[in-house]
Amino acid sequence: MNLTTEIKLGAFVLATSFAFAFLILTFGEIPLFRPETKTYTVYFKDVGGLSKGAEVRVSGIRAGKVEDIVLEGDKVRVVFNVEKDIKLFRDASATIGTLGLMGDKYLAITPGTPSLGELPENSTISTSEGVVDTDKLIRELTRTAENFRLVAMNLNKILEENRKNLKETLENLNALTATLRQMAEENQDNLREVLSQMAQLTENLNRTLPEAVASIDRLADELAGIASENRKDIRVLVANLRSISQDLKGELPKLVDNLNNLSENLSTVIAENRKDIRASIKNISEITHRLKSSSKRLDNILAKIEGGEGTLGKLVTDDALYENVSKGAKLFGEAGDVITKTKIFVGFGGEAYSEGDAKGYMSLRIEPDRRTYYLLEIVGDSRGRVYTEQIVGGSEIVKKEFKPEFTLQIAKNFFVGENRYFTVRAGLKESTGGIGFDFVPSNRVRIYSDIWDTGRKDRPGESGLKPNLQVGVQFRLKGPLYTRFGGDDLLNDKLRGAFIGAGLEFSEEYLKYLLGGMGLPFP
């Protein structure tokens, strides 16, 4: 069959597009372009959702990725690599961080102190810190809200029980204010004189005290010298001190008289400054009145809160509202947990058949948990739908009809070990009903079988055809790259053949790492 120029041009554009997509999605895995890396290990009690393929940042700079995560006893061993030219030192530490609002986890490394020496490759980082448990924070906030409610109830109870005492205290303050006002009025002039004398005394002390302190220091130095060098003269000094003591006995009555005079002057100052003292007492009375008014307002506010008025009152007294808030917080936490656990895988590949035909497909696999996943594929098959067309003269022409086919299946996994499980799939298989069975003995190998197309609409001109049965083995080579081979249409002798193919399947974490490394925006 001769190919037209349009078909050749379309095939060339399609092949170029697939090659370009293949280079973009696998650029980070080509060893020729990847920088050399070195491997380290760190242990955590809880990795908080960190997954294999997550990025590693050293001092905030993207420097590698997580290679493996394994549970060992009560700890989690995390194996990661960083670029060769980045140095980690012996006191390096590791923590688990969160990227943006999506909550993507990454491994954060603090390189440590250069003076302690470089940490050898394949060593274990001894210092690690896990992540904060969001559910625990929500529970703590719930307890805090309950404690706040109890405090408000206790405060209201205390005010109710001590209302009488507060009233008596305010009455006593009013009586004290009146007494102080009377004293200020009677001793206004004396207070003024006392204040004036105290100001003069303070001025004299500021002027003479430094000289007196200096004289005392000199006297102490001289006494020390006398004590060490002139012990004999100390006796004479003691005799002189005794003489001074006798003199003080005569001067002491005069000092007492001076103190009496000072007391009289103080009374005079109080009498002269009665107006000022009255103003001060009036201010104290106003402050007392304001305190009494504020106390009444506080009683009103607490009464409204206790009666359930306002937002705060409803929050404290309405148990149904409190329960709804708690349930909403719990549902929010559960929804966040489901989103965090859901995994997405994107892939594409092709298969070549012994009859010379070929098949290409693009797939999307959504895995909300380990036991369930949903599979969507868009398939292009060069075999197409075969049919014959009669022309004038009795001749027959074999023709093919090409159009995209769709696979949409739900799958359930049944585990028989840590990484070994059987899978049952059902739904659409290449736009017809079909079922499939898989057995996965390890992370690298998958044995699968599919049976579909019971009506054999692909070959309407041939009768008696059985459903299409395909059995194959898929082997993961490295990273997202895999190869597969097996038998096709095994139930029909005329159509039975073999196939071989290859493809790529990327996890969500792997796509984020690749596209982020190439500077492309990714949520």
Q: Is residue 157 part of a domain?
A: no
Q: Is residue 141 part of a domain?
A: no
Q: Is residue 66 part of a domain?
A: yes
Give tens-digit pLDDT for 439-481. 999 888 999 999 988 877 666 667 778 888 999 999 999 888 9
In this structure, are 9 and 54 located in the same domain?
Answer: no
Give the residue from 76, 87, 15 showing the smallest Cα distance to 49. Answer: 76
* Alpha-carbon span 351 to 357, nearest angstrom: 9
In this structure, are 457 and 390 located in the same domain?
Answer: yes
Q: Is residue 150 part of a domain?
A: no
In this structure, are 397 and 465 located in the same domain?
Answer: yes
* Number of domains within the chain: 4
Give the residue from 333, 401, 384, 344 showing the smallest Cα distance to 368. Answer: 344
In this structure, are 86 and 175 located in the same domain?
Answer: no
In this structure, are 67 and 11 located in the same domain?
Answer: no
Amino acid identity, position 355: E
In this structure, are 432 and 444 located in the same domain?
Answer: yes
Give the residue from 7, 73, 68 showing the smallest Cα distance to 42. Answer: 68
In this structure, are 125 and 272 located in the same domain?
Answer: no
Count the residues in the chain: 523
Q: Is residue 424 part of a domain?
A: yes
How far is C-alpha 458 from the geometric centre of its chain's CA atoms?
Answer: 54
In this structure, are 127 and 184 located in the same domain?
Answer: no
Give the residue from 501, 463, 143 showing the smallest Cα distance to 349. Answer: 501
- Domain that residue 21 falls in: 1-34
User: Which CATH number belongs to the domain containing residue 479 in this structure?
Assistant: 2.40.160
In this structure, are 176 and 103 located in the same domain?
Answer: no
Q: Is residue 228 part of a domain?
A: yes
Give tens-digit pLDDT for 37-78. 999 999 999 888 888 989 999 998 999 999 999 999 899 999
Of 108, 132, 156, which one is at a domain's C-terminal end?
Answer: 132
Beta strands 37-44 and 445-452, pairing class: unpaired
Q: What token pair was written down for 289?
A: 């009145």
Average pLDDT estimate for 251-260: 68
Verdict on whether the full-model pTM lies above 0.75: no
In this structure, are 423 and 511 located in the same domain?
Answer: yes
Q: What token pair was written down for 388?
A: 């014959």
* Alpha-carbon span 383 to 495, nearest angstrom: 12
In this structure, are 1 and 44 located in the same domain?
Answer: no
Q: Is residue 310 part of a domain?
A: no
How far is C-alpha 241 from the geometric centre of its chain's CA atoms?
Answer: 79
Q: Is residue 510 part of a domain?
A: yes
Give tens-digit pLDDT for 378-425. 988 777 666 556 566 666 666 666 678 889 999 999 998 888 999 999
